[in-house]
Amino acid sequence: MDIEINEELRAYIDPLTEDEYAALERSLLAEGCRDALVLWGSVLVDGHNRHAICTKHGIAFRTVQNTVFRSMDDVRLWMIDNHLGRRSISDYQRGVLALRKKDILQARAAAAPAAEDASAPTGNAPPEQARPVLATREAVARAARLSTTAVGQIEKIRKAAAPELVAAVKSGAISISSAAAVASLPAGEQAVAVAGGKQELRRAAREVRAKKAKPRPEDDAAGEEAQADLPPESTDVDELQRLVRALRAENADLKRRVANLTVALKEARGGL
């Protein structure tokens, strides 16, 4: 049978890097295709890279049908769970996949009551819906094996990061936390920071964090109290002027004393 390549599914999971693709190609050429490609009907679900390499080099491969799928969302959820179980993907990738799973499950939960309303007999209320899986950020964090803080930062990157910044965090040029900070900048400034390289990205992240850092309320109160204890500006100036005059007078008196002592010393030496 002809295998159908669905471009949306092929791009649903981040592609392999050039080095990873080259390593897979060497493995297939040396050992053949040991794992079967997963199909849903004629649509290829898992094994896009293996299919491309095997087709290119004429390497034989097997296929297996997944008969559990009922919709494209079932396919997406299976792909997400399949990749979340792998250790080779980055923290950012795991967070994105877990958040995608949350979106799908929440959309299903929202659509379920409407479907039940349409099919329920008149006068019968639909049963109460169970809380959907991954309803909270904590649940998403557990699914992705990340902290809730990291999940929140990945959410911010998904919503506000320019494509250049997303590519930078995927490549490891910037950390998730720094990327979340830079994502608060306008898209143009994000692109400029990415173009400047790692050092510029770090500088931009530091500046964003510094601007967001605000004095604590107790620090503000302490500062105001200290300011209130100071005398008026005019009083400060008068006091300083008086101090200067006193120091000048004291200095003049010391000079006179030194001069008198010098004269007395000379007279004493002359009498010896």
Q: Please tell me the predicted confidence (pLDDT) of residue 234.
A: 41
Structural domain including 142 reads 90-113+132-159
pLDDT digits (tens, 9 = 90+) for 39-50: 999 999 999 999
Mean pLDDT of 203-224: 74
Residues 171, 148, single domain; the answer is: no
Mean pLDDT for the stretch of residues 38-67: 96
Quick one: 170 and 220 in the same domain? Answer: yes
pLDDT of the residue at 125: 44
Question: Which is more confidently placed, 139 or 251?
Answer: 139
What average pLDDT does range 78-98 have in this prediction? 89
SS (H, E, C) the chain: CCCECCHHHHCCCCCCCHHHHHHHHHHHHHHCCCCCEEEECCEEEECHHHHHHHHHHCCCCCEEECCCCCCHHHHHHHHHHHHHCCCCCCHHHHHHHHHHHHHHHHHHHHHHHHHHHHHCCCCCCCCCCCCCCCCCHHHHHHHHCCCHHHHHHHHHHHHHCCHHHHHHHHHCCCCHHHHHHHCCCCHHHHHHHHHCHHHHHHHHHHHHHHHHCCCCHHHHHHHHHHHHHCCCHHHHHHHHHHHHHHHHHHHHHHHHHHHHHHHHHHHHHHHC
For residue 118, what pLDDT is reported? 55
Residue 76, domain member (yes or no): no
Number of domains observed in the structure of the chain = 3
Q: Is residue 244 part of a domain?
A: no
173 in the same domain as 153: no
- Note whether residue 238 is domain-resident: no
Instruction: Specify the higher pLDDT residue, 240 or 15.
Output: 15
- Provide the mean pLDDT of the chain: 83
